[in-house]
């Protein structure tokens, strides 16, 4: 398996080298909005410890990611009056992984509404800011 690359985009976000619309942060995890959301409120949960994906993450770190994913899922369902939540996680190129820092997608869903194609439309910063505000309020 390949080594973890500290120059990946999520590592840069963790170090503050790139901006992100953060919605949740604790000692172990960070939750921030996807800049090309498949639906409003599409949030990414990442561990703060380096891990390429599910195949190499330490179980304790994975447990923190899943706990945060649940919090964000509950908040996303509330904030966006969603009917359900899609949770996605990809591993290695053949599995659909594009950024090689473990991440979980939490996507609020509405019955009968299709998700946008992955990485298709960059959302406006002001819309992301409003979605972040809604999620933070639902987490409070």
Could you list the beta-strand ranges (E) of the chain: 22-25, 29-33, 43-47, 84-88, 104-109
Looking at 64, 103, 105, 131, which residue is catalytic?
103
Cβ-proximal residues to 132 (8 Å cutoff; 6+ apart), any chain: 21, 22, 23, 33
Cα(109)–Cα(83) distance, rounded to whole angstroms?
6
103 in catalytic set = yes
Q: Which residues are catalytic?
A: 103
């Amino acid at each position: 398996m390949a080594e973890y690359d500290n120059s990946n985009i999520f590592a840069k976000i963790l170090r503050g080298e790139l901006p992100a619309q953060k919605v949740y942060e604790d000692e172990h995890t960070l939750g921030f909005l996807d800049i090309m959301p498949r639906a409003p409120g599409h949030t990414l949960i990442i561990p703060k410890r380096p891990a390429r994906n599910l195949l190499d993450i330490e179980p304790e770190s994975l447990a923190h990611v899943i706990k945060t994913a649940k919090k964000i899922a509950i908040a996303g369902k509330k904030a966006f009056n969603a009917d359900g939540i899609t949770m996605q996680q990809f591993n290695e190129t053949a599995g659909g992984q594009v950024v090689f820092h473990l991440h979980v997608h939490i996507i609020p869903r509405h019955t009968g509404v299709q998700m946008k194609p992955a990485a298709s439309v960059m959302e406006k910063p002001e819309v992301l800011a409003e979605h972040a505000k809604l999620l933070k309020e639902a987490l409070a």
